[in-house]
Amino acid sequence: MAQNFSRYFFKRLLYVLITIYFILTFNFFLFRVMPADVEDILIPKGADEATKEALREYYGLDRSYLEQYVDYLGGFLHGELGKSISVRVGAEVTEVLAVYVPNTLLLVGFGTILAVFVGVVLGRETAWRRGKLADRIGSSFFIVFYCMPTFLFALVMLMLVTHYFPSWPARGTFSDDYYDLDLFGKIIDRIQYMLLPMFALVIETIAAFSIVTRSSLIDVLTEDYMVTAVAKGLRGRQVLRAHAMPNAMLPVVTTVAINVGWVLSGSIMIEIIFSYQGLGYLTWDAVWGQDYPVMQAVFMLETVAVLFANFIADMMLFKLDPRVKV
Amino acid sequence: MNNLASVWGRARGVAIAAIVLSFLMVLSAVPMRPFSDAAAAGQTTLRIGMMEPIDSLNPQIGINDNAYVFYGLVYDFLISVNDDLGPKANLAESWYRVPDAVPYGSVWQYNLTHGAKWHDGEPFTAADVVFTVSYQTGVNWSTMWAYQPYTLLIDYAEAVDPHTVRIHFMNPDTGLPTVCTFGDSLMIPILPEHIWKKIPVAQGAFSYANPDPVGTGPFMCTERIYDEFLSGNRITLVRNPDYHLGPVKFDRLILEFYLEATAMVIDLQRGAIDLAALTAPSYDNLLDWLESHPSAPIGTYAGLTCTSYSIDIGTCMKYNSDPDYNTLRMDPAVMEAMALATDKEFIRDNIYMGFAEVGYSLMSPIYGGLYWEPNATERYDYSIEEANLILDAAGYTVDSDGIRRCAPDNPYKGFKDRLELKILVEIELPEDVATAKFLKDEWREIGIDLEVDLVDAGTWNNVVYGGNYDLCISYWSGDPDPNYIIYTQTQKALEGWSENWYYSEEYDENYTKSVLELSIASRIQYVKNCEKHTYEDKAWIVTVYPYGCYGWREDHFTGWGDWGLDPGRQLANFWSANQLFFDLEPISTNEPPSVLFDLAAGVNGTAVQVTAWAWDPEGEAMTYYLDYGDGTNLTGDIPEDGELSLSHTYTRATTFMMNLTVSDPTTGVSTESYAVIVEDGTNVPPSNIRIRPSDMSKLWADEEMDYLVTAKDVDGDPLSVDVCWDDGSDNYSVGLSSTSSIQTSEVAHTYGMGEFAINVTVDDGTYEVTLWFVLSVSDEKPAGTNWLIIVVAGGAVAAAAVVGLMLWKRRGAKEEEDVRLP
Amino acid sequence: MTSPLASLLSAERKEKLKLLIRDGRIFWSKYKHNRTGIAGLGILVFFVSMAFLAPLIGQYDELYPPNSLEWARVNPTLSAPSADHLFGTDLYGRDIFTLTMYGARASLIVGLMASAISIILGTGVGVAAGYLGKSWDELLMRVTDFFLVIPWLPLMIVFAMLMGKSFTNVIIVIGITSWPWTARIVRSQVLSVKEKAFVVRARCIGAGSFTIVRKHIMPNVLPLVFASTILLIANAIFSESFLEFLGLGGDMISWGNMLEAAYDGHAFESYAWWWILPPGLFIIVLIMAFYLVGEATDEILNPKLRRR
């Protein structure tokens, strides 16, 4: 078993690395296809040829695509991701990312944990009470929130909160005096600013998880071995906990992995609406400003995150589902 | 199976703990976070709310408006702009045209201020000016694009001595010395040589981030400036205490960047920011809100900006060979028709919601005497009929779909012969987008098919400065001297600052004359000619001059001034040392202490107890100075509970007038009282009579409060105390037993809102003493309490949910026997 | 040499048609009992009729087109619902009721066309991967996974920037970012059918691959695809609202556009709920309707679920 696992592990890891390579390449070409020239972005009011030459050299644009590509890959391995050209002119992309990424990590991280647990519990309870009133009401709520576009919910919530609780921080990442606070104060401050966006981001994920858990649990509950278990005399909740849930959880694991990608995308809307300075917001800024070094880096980050989420999900599935063959 | 179950169990445990912990932290912390205390941490701070974070810390790179505001705070110019937009001394204390220069007016001398220092401590000298000039002129001129309209005419600068500099102006075409009319209006930030000489010119112009900006300005950056810039949230500046024109009157200036105008309005309303630069719709909302909150201490201003902000429709006057574009746009008949078909009043009223003025010249009325406006015959008034007539007369026929086709021999015909035009608009500017869509509908009526092309700022810049478009919507703003704006329509500006690629010989003639003319009156005439040409040639159709809309807190700062009368005080004045910042004074929100100084009484020659009670609304430590009235006095600190009790022996039997002054670190309050001293054997009247709420910080209307009534009779007589509340309720009467020390009686009472004169009468059988105490009760509960309720309610709901869930589970468990399998 | 018409109506074809109709009837008789499915279907009918009847029911389209800013000349701006304007007016005086009616068209068009693109691409890839097996399967699945991994919204934004902002581009972008999902489903279904007895027998007889695919695999795959299609439509409308809200859509009146205009026009600060509620609510309801119908169809057609 262990040997199989490590074979599987390395095989999948290899795939991940190959995919990352293809993504890097895709990234590179995608942004070279952008309609604007780098120099034109940087030079708002016109400059002469000599300056353009100097700039081309500075950014390495005077080299052939192949050379640039090699540079790009090499730089990536070294952690050099270039310089921003319009979002924060002249700043290193890594510096810019260092400011925005932690915010999103907090938001998405906490949000996903919350969503998984709440969603699974809700899904489980409604599946267990399938057909009864609790299930019907619950499922209706799930469907409504699943079908609701994220930004709508966020906007309505924003509207209500600013109207009824004007002193609650509804926009931004942290408060004025953030830097003057001690560690504890900083944590509290962050949490306050994070609550609303996280809630908006996560409401849909909760609905999604609930639906998946519910349907997969219902699937499991109809399996033959479940009826056998009951016939053998096992008690209700015990059956649920020991036999049904573990099997039902397998699709949930996959869903969590897929969801990471979704949540990263959804965060763009939420972050714009709540002026929360995270990766999504940076993506938006960078795309509009045609700041392709930043865009490349952000795309990379997001796809790699999804890749690894999937990878981990695959590993977990392998360990937990005896039916999966290498 | 077991694996997953145990993993699940453990993970769940951890997650629950994390969530509960976070929740608890929020619960415990929320009431502690005040949002609007501007004087937090003991520093006075001016907070300005703006849209759009600045795009670069480097004054050669940044182009958005807020970046310029930032540069004007950190850097100085030689000469700034005063209230009425005239020149004001800054780094240059005085200046004049050097008399023996040939031609006169080609060399200006600036006598620089002594004692100005860079923020890193280095002294400012003429060498810095010389460096700043040479960094941007000569071979560097074409690279250093940011201040080209000024550096165009500069030949070189020389330092006469460490505090005197001369700038030589030249004609850029001939290289010969030439007159400069705007030597007192060179809007170039002065850079420190010792820092910038290390930055190569190309980098300085395009990619150097300038992570540690050092200027001579009234504000300095903190060490966090680069991080703050990266995060785009806010920028913190601190007062430059050694500023050569005198420091400002507050400690910090924070620029808060909002991505959303609504958030700015809300923060202004609750006092989290002191000044907000608003968009027209959010300003409108603010005005609505103020109508229902007339007592809110918010001042507003909406009017022409000091930067002559205008919105303009541009026609590309350059022939482009791209078949996508339509050269018919340059047909004078078409240009006139487009101008006639632009309903500027509709745009002003519906798109700018009335917060704008109809536009004519590229320079707005803020230029005063320099502003040119067409008269009735020169003006092209909105008229669809006239536009159609003109196009008809020019040979444009109307096709079956309503779009016009030009005559076959039309000299402007290029790839297209129908009036199909594209207008380029920046998608981030909603008013421009709305204007374009409006024009699309309107111009259909004159037979023009206008396609709206929405692009981002980067693409807009590429296309416009590359000259590859039909029409665009742009904006212009200018410096106090008109040179900057009118320069952009000259030939020199083609391939540079010109956006519409306009060229006219007459225009250039007038421009050149305006630059060389020494007589102010004549210069005005040339400038106006330029404006007239721009208007008549219609390469720019100026739609409106949008107002700058601002709101500010009048209870946080005074000294705002009138921004209409004195446009130089507007926030938009970024030409350094804006007078506004020097006039603004923080209003101290510190409240003085409240003091109750009790009546004292005693026997001659014995120790008399003198009592008082003091309370500071901010809870600050207080000191006192007590004058006993007999020539002696005492100073000390007020104890923490506010109860002051002192012992003093008087040596005469009379009534002394005592004076107590209690001070918190900001202000002091004086009160008087009396010490009634009697001869031994005479009855001493009741003394030390007082009534006060037990906790002043929790006193508000309709809330029950415990009041402490104290009195003392030195002789030990029983006292009868009567309290009249002055709110119509029954009096409170109590009898105090016979001891000779101070006695306290506690009584609860609830007041409504208002001011009450509480009457306390104490009778010891011989004397009846009546004292009045004035109590003011407000109904404003501090925000903290609301929070407590909300959070408690939230907690209750959460608890109920958890309990409910558990009960739910229990119910499910009861049906263990009948497992419900579908 | 029978005429084309006659060959069209050949006995074989007629038989197939009859079977199809019979299948349809069976489907409908099952579907009837699914309450949520019926509800969803009813809502869909409502919206489709709204889309068709818009020009008739919508008000005031004689003067200016419903989307024109010039309405500000004649209508009150940002006014609450009233007798004249059932849903009130927006910032430029446009009648929101009319706009909402017209908006149904955009949503339905996007839903149908974007999913059509997605289905065609996805089915093609899925069938190829499933049927051809082995290395083709590996390769195609890697490509599919690759596209699944890229975050869809940033990708869509970049495509919109590249291709320009228009309604057709929104359709294309949604189509080409959602095909991987279909491909996966189709592939797994093809895999399960491939090993079924009748296919093996067909191969033994010597039938060509293409015939097998056409005659045996597709009929078994398509029902499942049909159910997925409906869910795909829901997804397409969902994504469309996102893209338009971000300003990447075109000029066509749609609910997403209306919400974008509301956001830019500060409806949320002015609490102009009448501008926000109709488009917002209708988006949710339309997506839900497709979702319910899709779920109901899935239940009936999906062999796994049929057991219940």
DSSP states of B10-39: HHHHHHHHHHHHHHHHHHHHGGG--S--TT
Question: What mean pLDDT do residues B149-167 have?
Answer: 92
Same domain, B144 and B191: yes
Which of the listed residues B629, B659, B681 is the one where a domain comes to its end? B681
Chain B residues in contact with chain C using a Cβ-Cβ cutoff of 8 Å: 261-262, 265, 281-282, 285, 346, 349-351, 427, 430, 434, 437-438, 441-442, 452, 454, 456, 822
Is residue B800 included in any domain, yes or no?
Answer: no
CATH number of the domain enclosing B657? 2.60.40.10
Q: How many CA atoms lie within 13 A of B334 on its CB side?
A: 32
Summarised one tens digit per residue, pLDDT across range B468-485 is: 899 999 999 888 888 888
Q: Which chains neighbour A (Cβ–Cβ under 8 Å, 3 or more pairs)?
A: B, C
In this prediction, what percent of chain B has a pLDDT beyond 90?
Answer: 45
Predicted pLDDT at B213: 95
CATH number of the domain enclosing B292? 3.40.190.10
Cross-strand bridge partners of residue B548: B303
The pair of three-digit structure tokens given for residue C277, joined into one six-digit string: 């509620």
User: CA C156 → CA A41, A255, A287, A299, B223, distances in Å?
Assistant: 22, 22, 11, 12, 39
Predicted pLDDT at A45: 45
Same domain, B168 and B208: yes
Does the pLDDT at position B709 exceed 70?
A: yes
Predicted pLDDT at C222: 77
Is residue B27 included in any domain, yes or no?
Answer: no
Sheet holding B743-750, edge to edge: B687-693, B704-712, B743-750
Domain residues for B257?
45-297+554-586
Summarised one tens digit per residue, pLDDT across range B732-760 is: 888 888 777 888 888 999 888 888 888 89
Predicted pLDDT at B548: 93
Question: What mean pLDDT do residues B119-136 have?
Answer: 94
Predicted pLDDT at B163: 94
Predicted pLDDT at C304: 58
Is residue B560 included in any domain, yes or no?
Answer: yes
Dihedral of alpha carbons B184, B186, B187, B192, sign: negative
Locate the chain B residue with the closest alpha carbon to A115.
B15
Same domain, B336 and B404: yes
- Residues of chain A where predicted confidence (pLDDT) is lower than 70: 1-3, 31-62, 166, 176, 224-227, 229-240, 242-243, 320-326
The pair of three-digit structure tokens given for residue B445, joined into one six-digit string: 């009526």
- For strands B92-97 and B471-476, give the pairing: unpaired
Question: What mean pLDDT do residues B362-391 have?
Answer: 92
Does the pLDDT at position C59 exceed 90?
A: no
Higher-confidence residue: B298 or C301? B298
Higher-confidence residue: C257 or A40? C257
Concatenate the DSSP letters of all residues of B339-392 into one string: HHT--HHHIIIIISTT-EEE--SSS-GGGGGG-----TTT-----HHHHHHHHH
- For strands B540-553 and B310-315, give the pairing: antiparallel
Is residue B607 included in any domain, yes or no?
Answer: yes
For residue B740, give the DSSP letter: S
Q: Which chains neighbour B (Cβ–Cβ under 8 Å, 3 or more pairs)?
A: A, C
Question: What mean pLDDT do residues B5-12 have?
Answer: 58
Which of B86-100, C28-42, C230-244 bottoms out in mean pLDDT, i.e. has the lowest?
A: C28-42
User: CA B284 → CA B268, B289, B726, distances in Å?
Assistant: 14, 9, 45
Concatenate the DSSP letters of all residues of B415-474 into one string: S--B-EEEEEEETT-HHHHHHHHHHHHHHHTTT-EEEEEEE-HHHHHHHHHHT--SEEEE
Which residue is associated with the tokens 């196009």? B391
Surface-to-core class of residue C195, CB atoms within 10 Å of its CB (0-12 exposed, 13-18 middle, 19+ buried): exposed
Summarised one tens digit per residue, pLDDT across range B177-201 is: 988 888 888 999 999 999 999 999 8
Which of the listed residues B681, B696, B720 is the one where a domain comes to its end? B681
Please give the mean pLDDT across all residues of chain B: 85
Concatenate the DSSP letters of all residues of B85-99 into one string: S-EEESSEEEEEE-T
Concatenate the DSSP letters of all residues of B74-141 into one string: HS--SEEE-TTS-EEESSEEEEEE-TT-SSTTSEEEEEEPSS-B-TTSPBP-HHHHHHHHHHHSGGGT
Same domain, B648 and B687: no
Predicted pLDDT at C220: 74
Same domain, B259 and B112: yes
Measured between beta carbons, the chain C residues lying within 8 angstroms of B427 are 165, 247
Instruction: Report the b/e string of B501-512 with b at 16+ CB within 10 A.
Output: bbbbeebbebbb
Closest Cα in chain C, distance from residue B461 (Å) = 16
Partner residue facing B282 (CB), from C92, C264, C269: C269
Does the pLDDT at position B332 exceed 90?
A: yes
Please give the mean pLDDT across all residues of chain A: 77
Measured between beta carbons, the chain A residues lying within 8 angstroms of C234 are 147
Same domain, B724 and B759: yes
Answer yes or no: do B202 and A195 touch at CB < 8 A.
Answer: no
Cross-strand bridge partners of residue B624: B636, B662
The pair of three-digit structure tokens given for residue B588, joined into one six-digit string: 């101290």
Q: What are phi and psi of B486, to 5 degrees?
A: -75, -20
- State how far the Cα of B94 lies from the Cα of B117, in Å rounded to an integer: 18
The pair of three-digit structure tokens given for residue A208, joined into one six-digit string: 């999604």
Same domain, B404 and B482: yes
Locate the chain A residue with the closest alpha carbon to B14.
A113
- For strands B557-558 and B310-315, give the pairing: unpaired
Per-residue pLDDT band for B68 (boundaries 50, 70, 90) equals very high
Same domain, B674 and B689: no
Q: How many CA atoms lie within 13 A of B553 on its CB side?
A: 27
Does the pLDDT at position B293 exceed 90?
A: no
Partner residue facing B496 (CB), from A46, A55, A88: A46
Partner residue facing B441 (CB), from C70, C77, C93: C70
Partner residue facing B497 (CB), from A45, A166, A189: A45
Summarised one tens digit per residue, pLDDT across range C81-127 is: 888 888 888 888 888 988 898 899 888 998 899 999 998 888 888 88
Select, from the ranges B194-198, B226-230, B641-645, the one with the highest average predicted confidence (pLDDT).
Answer: B194-198
Same domain, B393 and B500: yes
- Amino acid (one-letter) located at B322: D
Q: What is the domain partition of chain A in residue ranges? A: 93-325
- State how far the Cα of B19 lies from the Cα of B28, in Å rounded to an integer: 14
Asked if B577 and B83 touch (Cβ cutoff 8 Å), the reply is no
Fold of the CATH domain A93-325: MetI-like fold (1.10.3720)
Per-residue pLDDT band for B34 (boundaries 50, 70, 90) equals very low
Question: What mean pLDDT do residues B599-618 have?
Answer: 90
Is residue B570 included in any domain, yes or no?
Answer: yes
- State how far the Cα of B284 lies from the Cα of A239, in Å rounded to an integer: 63
Which residue is associated with the tokens 């704006």? B485
Same domain, B603 and B523: no
The pair of three-digit structure tokens given for residue C253, joined into one six-digit string: 């009146």
CATH number of the domain enclosing B471? 3.10.105.10
The pair of three-digit structure tokens given for residue B291, joined into one six-digit string: 């109508």
Predicted pLDDT at A293: 81
Does the pLDDT at position B780 exceed 50?
A: yes
Summarised one tens digit per residue, pLDDT across range B450-470 is: 999 888 777 788 788 888 899
Same domain, B657 and B726: no
Best CA proximity match to B552, nearest among B819, B265, B162, B331: B265
Per-residue pLDDT band for B439 (boundaries 50, 70, 90) equals very high
Concatenate the DSSP letters of all residues of B52-63 into one string: S--S-SSTTT--
Q: Within 10 Å of residue C84's Cβ, how many Cβ atoms?
A: 13
Please give the span between the terminal C-alpha atoms of chain B, in angstroms, as a whole number. 23
Same domain, B266 and B318: no
Please give the model's pTM, rounded to 2 decimal places: 0.76
